[in-house]
Structure 1
Amino acid sequence: MYLKKSSILTKDGSSTLRIDSLNESYHSLHGAVTESEFVYLDNGLRFWQKSHSASKASVLEIGYGTGLLAFLSFLNQLNNKMEIDYTSLEAYPLKIKDLERLNYNSFFESNQHQSFLDFSKLPWNNINQIIPKYSILKHNIFFEDFKSEKLYDIIYYDAFGFHAQPNLWEIEWMKKCFDLLNNGGLWISFCAKGSVRRGLQKVGFDVERLPGPPGKREMLRAIKP
């Protein structure tokens, strides 16, 4: 299923894509990179890394989208000693022609390993070891169909918002996230909806309401005891 997309410049100068028929953009219009860094890196990956002494962490991303979060997580590893094993799920991978409309190649300083577009062209359903401290496996699959014997330390829950994909915010998928995490594992999302918070609590998470990124008052972080 291909839905027409338009490119939009957000307030921090980074771009995103918008699906007009869903009235939904892939990132916050207040800043695509700013929101991603604040929600998922500062309050997710970096928070976990600061509080754990393990040599390796496993990340599961629900909603690969443009690949921005995966790329930011890779950039984070260029100056971090902890190894990251990154898995991302996406039912409808974007076409390269859409990704070429984003300005991330020029927005980020170049590094000797991967540009954003090179990163985007990594094959799906295959483990890609980019540097010793970062590997990524991109699954072309619905979250509902995903099965894994492996457990994860961090879940980036980055599905489209409740109004666009209400089914993915139901309690059964919060329970699936709980079951996919190691004890002490972390679930992080831009979402602050009360029904989602209550669902997370009901399936066993300890839930925190945190200050949100620009344009959003709150966000949620949940820990599996």
Structure 2
Amino acid sequence: MKREIVITADGSSTIHLPEWDEQYHSKHGAIQEAYHVFIKHGLHYFCNSEQSEESQRKIIDVTSSSVEKYRNISILEIGFGTGLNAFITLLEAKKLKIFVDYFGVEAYPVLMDEINQLNYSEELNVEDKSSLFNKLHEVSWEEFHKVTSYFSLAKQKRFFSEIKEENCYNIIYFDAFGARVQPELWTESIFQKMYSALKIKGILVTYSAKGSVRRAMETVGFKVERLPGPPGKREMLRATKS
């Protein structure tokens, strides 16, 4: 399938699939969408809620001999793709001083020559340019890697239907291709797997707001909220495992 690197409305790049007329990120702004859907309404919401208290752990700071509380958060991304959501989460983990264990599932990894054409480091004004972003893609698959002191990554090459974990994750970033082109990824059976994979009070966030998607989530037990969407979309969804 033909793939093209294109620039979205906020200046950040994405990959366009002409045959499907589908992009890896919103044409209205790849970075804007990632921050709004997955960081603001996912990571930040979870960290600022009472739900995150269960994830706190005490770490001894050997330099000061004091004990401080840090949060340890486990995130599953459905559709690792370009790595943009993982990259921004890595940057946010340092700002928030949280430890993130990040699991990215992707059946068809993006090629490195395509990764090298994406401009996320420049658009996000990352000091060390592309080295951190590239590291997310250069580390081996099916192994756990400590990328920074706050962020660890495991990339898993598998289909979403193969997910069998239970009670493992605090947050799921559900960033699959849209239901228009891959409806099989937005079914009750898939969301049942997502529900099982989340810990109690865990959340799933997605850019989609389709009625069929919301109903599928509710059928498997999620409490679903409609939230204001990112630029170009009226609404998005956040689902909580009660």
Indicate conservation of the 8 Å contact 2:207/2:237, yes or no: yes
C-alpha displacement of 1:112: 5.2
Q: Distance in 2 between matches of 1:105 and 1:204?
A: 39
Output the amino acid matched with 2:24.
Y
Q: 5+ residue gaps in structure 1?
A: none
RMSD: 1.4
Residue by residue over 1:13-69, the C-alpha shift from the partner in whole angstroms, topping out at 9 and shown as x without a partner, is 101110111211000010000001000000001110111232211000000010100
The one of 26, 29, 35 equivalent to 2:27 is: 29
Deviations 1:129-150 (A, max 9, x none): 0122210100011111123255
What is the alpha-carbon distance in structure 2 between the residues aligned to residue 85 and residue 168 of structure 1? Answer: 24
Supply the distance in 2 between the matched residues of 1:150 and 1:125 (Cα, whole angstroms).
20
Correspondence list, 1:10-21, <5 A: 10-21=8-19
**Residues 166 and 196 in structure 2, CA contact (< 8 A), matched pair in contact too:** no
Structure 2 regions of 5+ residues with no counterpart?
57-70
Match in the other structure for 1:221 = 238
Identity rate, percent:
41
Match of 1:140 among 157, 165, 175: 157
Which has the higher mean CA deviation after the structures are superposed, 148-157 or 209-218?
Answer: 148-157
With normalisation by structure 1, the TM-score equals 0.95
Q: Distance in 1 between matches of 2:84 and 2:106?
A: 13
Match of 1:44 in 2: 42
Question: Aligned equivalents of 1:149 and 1:39: distance in 2?
Answer: 24
Aligned equivalent of 2:112, options 96, 116, 119: 96
Question: Helix, strand or coil for the counterpart of 1:154?
Answer: strand
Determine the C-alpha separation between the residues in 1 that align with 2:127 and 2:100. Answer: 18
Question: Residue 179 of structure 1 aligns with which residue?
Answer: 196
Are 2:208 and 1:188 aligned?
no
Distance 1:42 1:105 in 2: 20
Q: C-alpha separation between the residues in 2 aligned to 1:102 and 1:18?
A: 12
TM-score by length of 2: 0.88
